[in-house]
A and B are shown apart, each in its own frame.
Chain A
Amino acid sequence: MSGAVDRRALVAALVARRGSALLLTGLGSPAWDLAAAGDHPQHFYLWGGMGGAFAMGLGLALARPDRRVVVLTGDGEALMGLASLATIAAQRPPNLALLVLDNRVYGETGGQPTATASGVDLAAIAAAAGFSATLRLESPDRAEAALDLLLTAPGPVLVQARVDHRPLPLVLPLKDAVAAKHRLRAALGVEQETGP
């Protein structure tokens, strides 16, 4: 398979244009991609909770309407969290963007095909749910348009990027969720929050 988007290049370009946006990953390859692009206090990486990345992004987006929130996840994780596309569509968070890096396999477990390998169209599902905009990114020449959508278009938006399944250098992100939590909250100025 060729002509697909280079996932590491796409995530690096997203990080380069991130600005004040908060980046949250689902478990597995998208977390390695974001780590490879460079660690930052505005990043939070899941190492578990499969199916929860979209919902976690919604919570963060509701808490911080002043910030863009971008969730990076894989097709397998997205498929497990499909219900959250409906939940998000119903809430209509204008600052939430979802990026699905779709390699059509469960890459961390041996490359078994996911439902997207059979043609299931996550962007169409999100559009049918009521997302403001969706995009199937099939080739690198539309990457800038995809990043525009993810970082600036009124949300909720979803980009389904077709990427290759091939070995990449493993770059592991921060594993300590407590540490990642504290530094993100500190970056947002809420770490000292103790309630009323």
Chain B
Amino acid sequence: MSDVDWSEGALRAILRAGIRLLAHVPDAGLAPLLTRCAAEPSLRVVGLCDEREGPALLAGAWLGGLRGVLACQSSGIGNLVNMLGVSAVGRFPLAMLVTMRGEWGEENPWQVPMGQAVPAVLGAMGVRLFSLERAEDAEAVLDGALGLAFGSDQMVAVLIRQRLLGAKRFVPAGATAS
């Protein structure tokens, strides 16, 4: 893990792209960005109950002239696949920030199947993929991804890698981490 906080550059890119809406289902990996966004007065933050709501919500917002992004964990991609059809068929710009599980030092096997499938699933649906592996690249990667999404009416996802975020540790009470 880097000492640089990826969420700082990410927020700068989000604001520079004219984003005024952040829809999310929370994730520990997203927590630093969600905290920054909650403190940003120009952003409307909408907590979703299900990632499926995200593409539909952002398509509706775009109809009204409002730019948004969806932030969620990799498992949530499995929940929203069919709704990507709305974005695809309407050529609605869709920008997703996806914090990855199940790929780098994961200790919860239940996260592995969906996490490992995310690139193939999103690729099959026509989502353009970006990979964020170093915190210092966050601003540039989001600039590129958001530029493609809103400049060319594309679906894009920035996969924020588990190597950058760090794997969640599961230490039972009374045990000592090895």
In-complex Cβ contact of B64 among A48, A55, A59, A180 (8 A): A59
Interface residues contributed by chain A, number (CB under 8 Å) = 40
- A53-95: contact bitstring with B at CB < 8 Å (1 yes, 0 no)? 1011111111110010000000000000101101100110000
* B48 close to A48 (CB less than 8 A): no
* B60 close to A49 (CB less than 8 A): no
Give complex CA distance A90, B67 in Å. 21
* B82 close to A63 (CB less than 8 A): no
| CB of B63 within 8 Å of the partner chain | yes
Contacts of A61 in B (CB 8 A): 60
| CB of A140 within 8 Å of the partner chain | no
* A63 close to B53 (CB less than 8 A): no
By CB atoms of chain A within 10 A, which of B46, B56, B60 has the most? Answer: B60
| CB of A51 within 8 Å of the partner chain | yes
| Stretch of A116-124, A163-171, A185-193 with 4 or more beta carbons under 8 angstroms from chain B | A185-193
* A59 close to B47 (CB less than 8 A): no
Give complex CA distance A67, B61 in Å. 13
Within 8 A of A (CB), among B26-64: 44, 46-50, 52-64
Contacts of B91 in A (CB 8 A): 177-178, 181
Contacts of B16 in A (CB 8 A): 196
Contacts of A57 in B (CB 8 A): 60
Nearest CB on A from B152, distance (A)? 12
* B60 close to A84 (CB less than 8 A): no
Give complex CA distance A62, B49 in Å. 17
Contacts A87-B46, A181-B92, A195-B17; is A55 near B63 (CB within 8 Å)? no
Contacts of A178 in B (CB 8 A): 89-91
Contacts A49-B83, A188-B65; is A55 near B90 (CB within 8 Å)? no
Contacts of A188 in B (CB 8 A): 63-65
Provide a sorted-by-A list of 18 A–B residue pairs whose CB atoms are within 8 angstroms: A48-B89, A52-B52, A55-B48, A55-B52, A55-B56, A55-B57, A56-B63, A58-B57, A59-B59, A61-B60, A63-B66, A83-B48, A83-B49, A84-B50, A87-B49, A181-B63, A181-B91, A195-B18
Closest 8 CB pairs of A and B: A63-B64, A59-B60, A190-B65, A52-B56, A63-B66, A177-B90, A59-B61, A56-B60
